[in-house]
Amino acid sequence: MPHRKDLSAVIARPIAHRGYHDMNRTIWENSPSAFARAIEHGFAIECDLQLATDGVPVVFHDDDLQRVCGLPGDVRDRTSWELGQLAIGGTADRIITLPGLLAQVAGKVPLVIELKGRKDNDDGFAEAVVDCLSGYKGAVALMSFDHWLLRDLKRAGATRPLGLTAEGVKPERFFLHEEAMHLGLDFISYCVQHLPNPFIAAQRANGVPVITWTVRNAEAVQRTRDCADQMTFEGFDPDQSLTA
């Protein structure tokens, strides 16, 4: 069995999807307020990284600024300083950098960080993330849908657990996922609606931990219990019981 980095600290508690937001009513996704709320409740934090035009990783999901900031334009066309001036959802929160996130969390809860790639336009992204994490003492796992970024993280000497973010139910998708796992990945984050499936069953039988995304109801909680090891959740408190 291949040696995998230990994920137990990362998946000990449910993982708050883009932080413990309130579905963007008053506490927005990927915001310092959502991260503070997750820390307060002891939940691990899942968040997303984009690469600003100055080569600094910033905490943001979308390619475009419109939905979250109400402005047109590509997140990658602005510097991290420019992005840091933009209000998230009209609140007092601003877009923060990866170093800013690490300073806020400071090892209080684990981080599950997803890199949002752009094909043929990710030079330096993996290296910048690895550099930011150098010396950080808290539990961190890194993941991506993008196989090239996972390869780049390996080449950059990433010491944190690396995972494939994935979805799909067709054999051709499973084949691509299998290819990514040959990089020597440590875990998988899989779409809960696409479970159970033969790919995930085989990976778990081989000892690969599986996280689900995104769990929003009791049925998905149960599916996670049946088919995976931990959930990435939003829209409810997983410490409270849910009914289907």
Give residue-wise pLDDT tens across range 62-107: 999 999 999 999 999 999 999 999 999 999 999 999 999 999 999 9
In a domain, 213, yes or no: yes
Which amino acid, 196? P
Split into its structural domains, the chain has a count of 1
Examine the pLDDT at 1 and tell me if it is beyond 60.
Answer: no
In-domain check, residue 4: no
Helix, strand, coil share (%) of the chain residues, nearest 5: 30, 20, 50
Residue 5 is assigned to a structural domain of this protein: no
Q: Is the CB of residue 71 less than 8 Å from the CB of residue 6?
A: no
- Residue 204 has what pLDDT? 98
- DSSP result, 144-203: ES-HHHHHHHHHTT--S-EEEEE---SHHHHHHHHHHHTTT--EEEEEGGG-S-HHHHHH
Q: Dihedral sign, CA of 39, 231, 192, 183?
A: positive
pLDDT of 244 above 50: no
Host domain of residue 195? 15-229
pLDDT digits (tens, 9 = 90+) for 7-37: 999 999 999 999 999 999 999 999 999 999 9
87 burial type by CB count under 10 A (0-12 exposed, 13-18 middle, 19+ buried): middle
Give the CATH number of the domain where residue 198 resides.
3.20.20.190
d(CA 102, CA 130): 13
| Residue 10 placed within a domain | no
* Integer angstrom CA distances of residue 35 from 27, 39, 167, 192: 10, 6, 26, 23
- Report if pTM > 0.95: yes
Q: Would you place residue 2 in the very low, low, confident or very high pLDDT band (cuts 50, 70, 90)? A: low
Report yes or no on 234 lying in a domain: no
Is 242 contained in some domain?
no
For residue 162, how many C-alpha atoms fall within 13 Å in the half-sphere facing its CB? Answer: 27
In a domain, 188, yes or no: yes
